[in-house]
Amino acid sequence: MAKSLKNGERVYGTLIISNSPRWPLEVAKLGLDFVFLDAEHMPLDREQLSWMCRTYRAMNLAPVVRIPCPDPYQASMALDGGACGILAPYIETAEQVQALRAAVKFRPLKGQKLRDIMDGKEFPEPLLADYLQAYNEENLLLVNIESKPALDALDEILAVPELDAVVIGPHDLSCSLGIPEQYGHPQFTEAVQLIIQKARSAGVAAGIHYFFGVDQEIAWAKEGMNLLIHASDMTAFSTNMSREIQLIKDALGDHSGSGTINETKIHI
């Protein structure tokens, strides 16, 4: 996945919520490049998350973990647990990205030496520089762009070295823009197009986690978006099961129940 992103190729994933031991075998049949594991909104403890990361990684499906908050220590824990990539939520400043870069791209350095290197006061010794590059070359740093302040600071965020991708959080972004869940609104469309254009011009991948049909994802991909997190196992189940149950009920003349899940109310 790291090589594909660096080459500007499109990569495909989905949010995996189920931790059933059988589930990875089914996910492996989907032709995905990575799986998205969300420790921000999902109740995943550290051991459970690590088992999922190690399992998918062994199956050549890169696990990308959204950490609970933009905290370098949370990023380090997820990488220690087997994550290939870190997605940091609700990023609004270049300083946040720089701190995460230190944790993701300069492992296992910590403390004053790391701070001095990041501040440009010191440079890694040649042996250390080679070691750090080899140790971290597969680690991916992704950040969520999901607020108006993030849009305002986008140029500075994209200028942080070694940032691999920005990923739009559509629900939070629409709320921050004052147009909650209005994903066809011109203001939302303009924001998405701006993120795609600026990111790709900066040599950074642009992505989105989107639940609401494939047509818009295809259109954005044609505009340059190259990291697609499509829906989730939970929404795929609820949408398809609801449709099939309804087909059976209609064929048998039975009335519909009231248990249909409104997909637009799943905010992750």
Residues marked active site are found at: 41
Three-class secondary structure of residue 83 per DSSP: coil
What are the beta bridge partners of residue 145?
Answer: 168
Residue 168 pairs in a beta bridge with: 145, 208
Helix locations, the chain, DSSP H: 2-6, 23-27, 46-58, 72-80, 94-105, 111-118, 126-136, 148-152, 154-158, 170-176, 186-201, 215-222, 233-252
Distance CA(68)–CA(38), nearest Å, equals 8
**Beta carbons within 10 angstroms of residue 37's beta carbon:** 25
Burial of 21 per CB tally in 10 Å (0-12, 13-18, 19+):
exposed
Closest CA relative to residue 12, chosen from 44, 38, 35? 35
